[in-house]
Amino acid sequence: MFVAVIFVLIILGSIIFHFWSPWWWTPVASNWGNIDDTIILTFWVTGAVFVAVCLFMAYCVWAYRYRPDRKAEYKPEDKKLEFRLTWLTALGVIALLAPGLIVWNKYISVPENAFKIEVVAYQWGWNYRLPGNDGILGKTSVGLISDENPFGLDSNDPNSADDILVMDADLHLKINQPVKIELRSLDVLHNFYIPQFRAKMDTLPGIITYYWFTPEKKGEYEILCAEYCGTGHYAMRGYVQVDEEQDYSNWLAKQISYEKMLAKNNIKNKLIAEKQN
Amino acid sequence: MSDEYTENKLEAKAADSSSGSYAPTAETVPAKESPDQELYHAKSFWTKWVFSQDAKVIGVQYALTATAIGFIGLILSWGMRLQLGFPETFSFLGPATYYQSVTMHGMIMVIYLLTALFLGGFGNYLIPLMVGARDMVFPYVNMVSYWMFLIAVLVLIASFFVPGGPTGAGWTLYPPQAILPGTPGSEMGIVLMLISLSLFVIGFTMGGLNYVITVLQARTRGMTLMRMPLTIWGIFTATVLALLAFPALFVACIMMTLDNLLGTSFFMPEIFSMGEKLEYGGGSPILFQHLFWFFGHPEVYIVALPAFGIVSDLISVHARKNIFGYRMMVWAIVIIGALSFIVWAHHMYVSGMNPWFGFFFATTTLIIAVPTAIKVYNWVLTLWRGNIHLTIPMLFSLGFIVTFVNGGITGLFLGNVIIDVPLSDTYFVVAHFHMVMGIAPLMVVFGAIYHWYPLITGRHLNQTLGKIHFWVTFVGAYAIYFPMHYLGFIGVPRRYFEMYDSPYMTSGVGLNQFITVAALIVGFTQFLFLYNIFTSWYKGEKSERNPWKANSLEWHTPDYPPTHGNFGKELPVVYRWPYDFSVPGSDKEYIPQDVAPSQVPTAKAETT
């Protein structure tokens, strides 16, 4: 009796905790609300199975507890029952999987009009590169990275010149503009994750990975590194600011292009050289 | 085969006619295929108890070593929990020490505790006894297997004392980070870890070949595969998985060691690290992840399948009822084992591999839910209309069902590729895998120890301490991991040393403190269990023979507890499966496997 009651209480406690828990999603701020819907669906289906199995178990523990005069049933198999349970489970699994795959298909199909942003991850921080007016990000190479050229941009590529370099952990995005995040890492694995946007992907050295989303709510969101990257992993953060058109343009105007940075460096280098002479 | 049967029918065929239409036809057993082999007989204390070739002693050696290193893993988890719950109060842990604790805790628990305990410990002790063999087929190799395991453990422990300390790369050891200076222990720690793992694989292969070949070749007469206890099915299938999966880990370890020491670039692309370009170029970090998870996912089932098997036997014996759907249970174990090799990349949905893989691996992963669910149904259906003794092994089995179902359904979240996107690398994952491959298998380990301790020592564990152990461990562990899923929903990432100024975390501070307190209590209770094991060894209540009234062969040896050679002069002959409990028509409540149908003529047992 006691044992069955405790099991029932644990199940009831879990249900109550679920509905009264103060810990739940942060409100979604991107177009990925349907990820949340898939999770809610999974919650209902699997939650029902969990509660049903555990309560049935608790019932058995109570109803068939040991009595000296009781004799257990002898029934090695019940093909019909096993067959039904198998197909019922299979149906449940299909019901969970199908919508999930449909949303996944959306997740990996980047819309044509998505604005490309390169995220450069390093131990332990974030930088960003936006394409200039040409809308194309210039070529890069690890071998070209230096103090003067922190992104390793290829000066011979005509697309590089107008690329905008953001040497800061804060990134601004225009509201309702789909963005394709192109992820690049200089050293180890990282992961560009903003909980409110629901999306994430690892960054790797040697490969460019990507994902896309549309920010749909104004505000400031924290960027977390979600792939362990060494001692400073927990401190590798930044902010994304989702702006209205005007604020975004103001921010963009303050950023510096590769061309301008090179020019600045040249002047600086000249001054240093003159001084040394 | 069948023509061999005819000339070797044992005793009374007459029984067939007397027991009417229910008469089992399984009165016959095949002849001995080969004469008995002489065992190695140890003479001295050293060869009997230290460099022992007796699988029972080796099993206990494995279990004790695994338990010892497991307690180190437990203590490491306290350090982590103190930091997460009370970061200001316990500032003795820096981020480097924290990450080293995380890494060593994970690796110790998965490989050196659970794998070694289930296969090396229970496998060695139970396989020969339960299939009716005198020992493993290669006793000497079996002994070497244990000593390799011990050396692997010692190398692992040594890594705590080298300059830079043990590796802090996370138990997944992902390169490039694992061998670059931004990670603690990237000097000697990672090298020793890779060597220790390689030694473990070598040692395991020696043991694993023994387990598989013993099950296939050394079963006693009449012990068909479909009469084996599910415990053996679980351990056998898990060993096959391990023999196929561990080589992937082994080569990954060797390749990373070469990358680290000789400057090869298997896993290392062009890297710009800490202000300079490294010599590496052309390798792929994702290749390591594929190799690691090709081992790592079967590894989950290497731990889970023995637990599935053992818990089936515990439930059946203590509910006095045959396991429901035995054949389905066997096939489910085999199917899960086979499927476990084509789901590995569900650990890599957001790793940057080709996103189209997501469709394939999400589908295969969710298919595994079907045979797994069948197993769960069959466990609870075994309880139904049983006569349930709420002994401690039964309590732990019930605890297993709850925690396993809970951890299993959260697997349906993470396996469904799109749901994994927000949840991967958060505390949801931490809660999921602790519930499903930490707590649930440990419930079975505990239940199994309470169940078989009398067989090993001839004494019972203390029941009061056992009940305390069960309730605190079960309720406590559930209280730790159930709410932890919700931290993942908020978005709290795993492997964070601290993040108290983040909006996600501030709401979870109280919850984290609660989890830490619960973890400390549950941890201390394990020491109580250890105390119980050691004191009961000489002070425990004496156990009568076959105290649980089980049918499988290990309880029916001539000497109790079983001695060298397991079965006196003649090996037992098996006539039935081990689940003939409460058979109608029989005056006996249970019919052991070596009882011939003619000895229980009225029993209306189904032929197995």
A149: confidence class by pLDDT, cuts 50, 70, 90: confident
Is there a contact between B503 and A222 if contact means CB atoms under 8 Å apart?
Answer: yes
Q: Quick one: closest CA in A to B274, which residue?
A: A123
Residues of chain A above pLDDT 70, percent: 100
Closest by Cβ to B499, choosing from A32, A230, A234: A234
Q: How far is the alpha carbon of A133 from chain B, nearest alpha carbon, in Å? A: 29
**Which residues of chain A lie closer than 8 angstroms to B184, CB-CB?**
231
Q: Which amino acid is at B152?
A: A
Contact check, Cβ <8 Å, B491/A195: yes
Contact B189, B165 (CB under 8 A): yes
Taken in order of first residue, the domains within chain A and their CATH numbers are: 2-67+74-108 (no CATH), 115-273 (2.60.40.420)
Sheet with strand A202-203: strands edge to edge: A170-174, A237-243, A219-225, A190-193, A202-203
Nearest-Cα distance to chain B for A104, in Å, is: 5
Q: What is the pLDDT of residue B24?
A: 44
Ordered by where they begin, the domains of chain B are 48-270+279-598 (1.20.210.10)
User: Minimal Cα–Cα distance from A139 to chain B, Å?
Assistant: 15
Please report the pLDDT score of residue B19 as a whole number: 40
Out of A132-141, A236-245, B87-96, B142-151, which region has the weakest mean confidence (pLDDT)?
B87-96
CB of B393 within 8 Å of a chain A CB? The answer is no
Identify the pLDDT of residue A277: 67
Q: How many residues does chain B have?
A: 608
Contact A205 B352 (CB under 8 A): no
At B4-26, the pLDDT tens digits run 443 344 433 434 434 433 444 55
The residue among B71, B182, B372 whose CA lies nearest residue A125 is B182
**Could you tell me if B421 lies within 8 Å of chain A, comparing CB atoms?**
yes
Span B513-523, pLDDT tens digits: 999 999 999 99
Closest-CA residue of A relative to B389 is A66
d(CA A247, CA B162): 54
CA A233 to the chain's CA centroid: 16
Comparing alpha-carbon positions, the chain B residue that sits nearest to A21 is: B486
- What radius of gyration do chain A's Cα atoms show? 28
Q: What is the residue type of B362?
A: A
CB pairs under 8 A between A and B: 320
Tell me the β-bridge partners of B459: B542
Q: Which of B272, B284, B508 sits opposite A23 (nearest CB)?
A: B508
Question: Is some CB atom of chain A closer than 8 A to the CB atom of B426?
Answer: yes
| pLDDT for A157 | 87
Instruction: Tell me the shortest Cα–Cα distance from B401 to chain A, in angstroms.
Output: 8
pLDDT tens, residue by residue, B122-142: 999 999 999 999 999 999 999
Determine whether A112 is exposed, middle or buried from the number of CB atoms within 10 Å of its CB (0-12, 13-18, 19+). exposed
DSSP structure class, residue B606: P
Q: Which of A72, A89, A229 sits opposite B373 (nearest CB)?
A: A89
Query: Looking at chain A, which residue has its C-alpha nearest residue B491?
Result: A195
The 10s digit of each residue's pLDDT in B443-476 is 999 999 999 999 999 999 999 999 999 999 999 9
Q: Residues of B numbered 30-89 whose beta carbons fall under 8 angstroms of chain A's beta carbons: which are they?
A: none
Q: B285 CB near a chain A CB, below 8 Å? A: yes
Query: B184 and A231 in contact by Cβ < 8 A?
Result: yes
Q: Which two tokens stand for residue A230?
A: 């060494």
Q: Does A49 touch chain B (CB under 8 A)?
A: yes
Of B388, B402, B475, the CB nearest to A66: B388
pLDDT tens, position by position, B425-436? 999 999 999 999
Q: Long-range contacts of range B280-287, CB-CB < 8 Å, 24 or more positions apart? A: B280/B176, B283/A206, B283/B259, B284/A206, B284/A207, B285/A189, B285/A204, B285/A205, B285/A206, B285/B174, B285/B175, B285/B176, B286/A204, B286/A207, B286/B348, B286/B351, B286/B352, B286/B353
Contact A7 B504 (CB under 8 A): no
The answer to whether B362 and B415 are in contact (CB under 8 A) is yes
Confidence of residue B416 (pLDDT cuts 50, 70, 90): very high
Paired tokens of B187:
């000097």
Task: Quote the minimal CA–CA distance from B367 to chain A in Å.
Answer: 7
- Mean of the per-residue pLDDT values for chain A? 91
Taking CB atoms within 8 Å and a gap of at least 24, the contacts of B94-97 are: B95/A231, B95/A232, B95/A234, B95/B497, B96/A231, B96/B165, B96/B168, B96/B184, B97/B165, B97/B184
- State whether residue B511 sits within 8 Å of chain A by CB: yes
The residues that bridge with A120 in the sheet, in sequence order, are A127, A184
Residues 543-582 of B with CB under 8 A from A: 579, 581-582
Would you state the pLDDT for residue B582? 92
Give me the amino acid identity at B1: M
Mean pLDDT for chain B? Answer: 91
- The letter for the amino acid at B549 is K
Mean pLDDT of B534-543: 94
